[in-house]
Amino acid sequence: MARNLQHSMLPRPDGEELARQRYVLALKTHLGRRLRPGNRVIWEQAAQPAFEREHGRAPADRGEIAEAMYAEPGYQAWSSLNRCAQEMMWEAVGEAVFRDSPRMREEYARLSGERAAGGSLELSDDFALPNAIRRINIHLQPGGYARDEDPADIVAGAFYEAGGALYSMGQSVGTRESKAELVQRFIAERHPGFRPARVLDMACSAGASSVPYALAWPDAEVHAIDVGPAMLRYAHARAEALGARVHFHQRDVVDTGFADGSFDLIVSHNAMHEMSQATQAAMMRESFRLLAPGGVCVHQDVPLRYSELDEFMRFERGWDLRNNNEPFWEAYATNDPERMLADAGFPQAQISVGYFEQIDGSMRWFLAAARKPA
């Protein structure tokens, strides 16, 4: 199920809005694929020699590499443009989201009223949003995941899906095997014949990765949790529009409130890199507690392992931490999911951590998976 899937909850850009979105996409693609590799050239040919001339030694760490790189006009230009392109992306998406939001709100009311696919939505009036979510416009998304202006607000979800689609097309993953499809293929290869009756998608956002489980296993009871209320309203209506029976709940991955052994399969997609290490570890513990004997968990995320990078690339890949409101970028890049899964209770022999390659593209996703003993 491709990321560019169409449904009635998606904001509908008019011609001019679409033209601006396409411009941003072209700009982001150019900055990411054509110009970004030049940052190493700037480092090797200008910043590093300048640092060594001044200090009489090589930079000790990525903090000193940053100091040297931010003094270079070429890197300054790339970094500023990259930041501007991210801001422009949300502006371009926001034009369509706000203009079209009366229609989307009506669509939300209709779809959540009819519940034609049989899904549900459970929000909590006194839910305590984690500070990290409440205080941050994550990756510069206006209002972040916590945005919630009124009881029918769906803007955060619309922003997330439309912005995410543009962002992922820039990384050429938009039309190819989705993260959820890849995880399903991983499960089929590792555990032939495994067919879950109850599935939980943790930190589901707009539900783009929850829906493929409901469609792949229509007999399964699929639940999805997140903390953002407007994200969940949108996710619920979106799933209904796509004919997928998913039960969405406003819950924290740290303490989900479900009973022990409630699920056969627990997944998360691109979630760890937006959580502190304490929250990531808690999500693994909660996965162990919530799995029934023989159950499987697969936590998928972006390929960002600092252990595989030299110190320059750690600085370079750390751009999002410094410039794109991604406070947990390094907490994820330096985490140890294998250890977290073992500490959560999974036997070492049942843990598998590593990359799994997209079947029809160049993307490889990072998977931290484990099975609870039967």
Ligand X SMILES: C[S@@+](CC[C@H](N)C(=O)[O-])C[C@H]1O[C@@H](n2cnc3c(N)ncnc32)[C@H](O)[C@@H]1O
Tell me which residues touch ligand X (CB under 6 A): 130, 133, 145, 179, 203-205, 208-209, 225-228, 231, 252-254, 269-271, 274-275, 279
* DSSP string computed for 157-203: HHHHHHHHHHHHHHTT-TTS--HHHHHHHHHHHHSTT---SEEEEES
Least Å distance, CB 270 to ligand X, is 4
What letter does residue 47 receive in the DSSP assignment?
Answer: I
Give the number of other CB atoms < 10 A from CB of residue 353: 16
Per the document, the length of the chain is 374
Residue the block writes with tokens 């996710």: 235
Helix 73-114 × helix 155-170 angle, to 10°: 130
What does each C-alpha distance from 24 to 10, 17, 230 come to in angstroms? 19, 11, 25
Coil, strand or helix: which one is 11? Answer: coil
Least Å distance, CB 54 to ligand X, is 40
Least Å distance, CB 123 to ligand X, is 13
Least Å distance, CB 254 to ligand X, is 5
Q: Closer to ligand X by CB, 20 or 147: give it.
A: 147
At 63, phi and psi to the nearest 5? -65, -45
Least Å distance, CB 128 to ligand X, is 11
Which one-letter amino acid corresponds to residue 49? P
Least Å distance, CB 161 to ligand X, is 8
